[in-house]
Structure 1
Amino acid sequence: MSESRCPCLSGLTYDDCCGRLHAGGSTAHTAEQLMRSRFSAFARGDGDYLLATWHPSTRPATLELDEDRTWYRLDIIETRAGSPFDTSGVVEFVAYYRAPTGAGRQHEISRFTREQGCWFYLDGIH
């Protein structure tokens, strides 16, 4: 059990936020919730969760995470659609990291789709 703050910066503890999704006990209800849980998976090095939540049509066969990159902040810029009643959604975000070469950020507009009640990451434009 982890009482630490969730990496997605929701204000909740990891266990009450993304931890329950990573553990497989439930699925994301919205595209933004899936985006936040995927950021937290990057922050915690959980490649299995990232692959499981990636749509099969765009999912890579393998995923290698950069262990030297520490993800520490997520800013959601905009969310379009992606509610529990939608079948698609878009989340624009900026994610910040530290690496041996210095600090950096990734700005992305990510597309999501919901199939049979589950949200999946499709792709993103950097």
Structure 2
Amino acid sequence: MTTFDYEPSAADLAAIEQEWPLIAADLDLLDAEIAMLYAAADGGPTALDWRRLRRAEARVTRAAAEVTARPAHVCHGHLLAEVGMTGCGYGCKILRCQTCGAEQVSHRAVYGCPAGKNAARVA
């Protein structure tokens, strides 16, 4: 049997936090659906059980709309830390966001890097 000995990354935790309102709403809906199953065994759901289910469904819909409308984490320059060199030969750097763990490459035209010059032309 294989065991996994690793923790979630910062990016994993950020994604969970971003989606937590939807996760919580889904758990409330699951609770309401379970209550409906138990109520069916006890003579049927009441008006209050149906209302609880409808409200939980509405919360899931609202939470899903809010989560999808929210922009993903944006890495700002002050959150980036240098973690290595690109190997392009021009001293360009690999940067990692200290908040979410996402990495990006910074090819700099000022160092004479062709990739940085091309990126500057496109932008």
**TM-score (normalizing by structure 1):** 0.22
**TM-score (normalizing by structure 2):** 0.22
Question: Quick check: which has more Rg, 1 or 2?
Answer: 2
- Structure having the larger proportion of residues in helix: 2
